[in-house]
Amino acid sequence: LTVDRLTLAGGAFSAHDEAINPYRTWKLDQLSVEARDLSTRAADPGGAVQVAVKLGETPISLRAESVRLAPAGARAELHIRGFDLSLLLPYLPPDAPAALKSGRFSAALTLDHGGAATRVDGEARFDQLVLLRRGQVAPFASLPALTVALTEINFSRDGLAAKRIDLAGDASVLDESVSPPARLDLRGVRATAEQVTWPA
Could you tell me the CA-to-CA distances from 125 to 51, 76, 129, 133 in Å, in that order?
22, 19, 10, 22
Residue 54 has pLDDT above 80, yes or no: yes
* pLDDT value of residue 42: 79
Residue 139 and residue 171: Cα distance in Å, rounded? Answer: 12
* pLDDT value of residue 78: 98
pLDDT digits (tens, 9 = 90+) for 65-110: 999 988 889 999 999 999 999 999 888 888 888 889 999 999 999 9
Residue 39 and residue 118: Cα distance in Å, rounded? Answer: 20
The H or E element containing residue 15 is strand 2-17
Q: Is the pTM of this model over 0.85?
A: yes
* pLDDT value of residue 3: 92
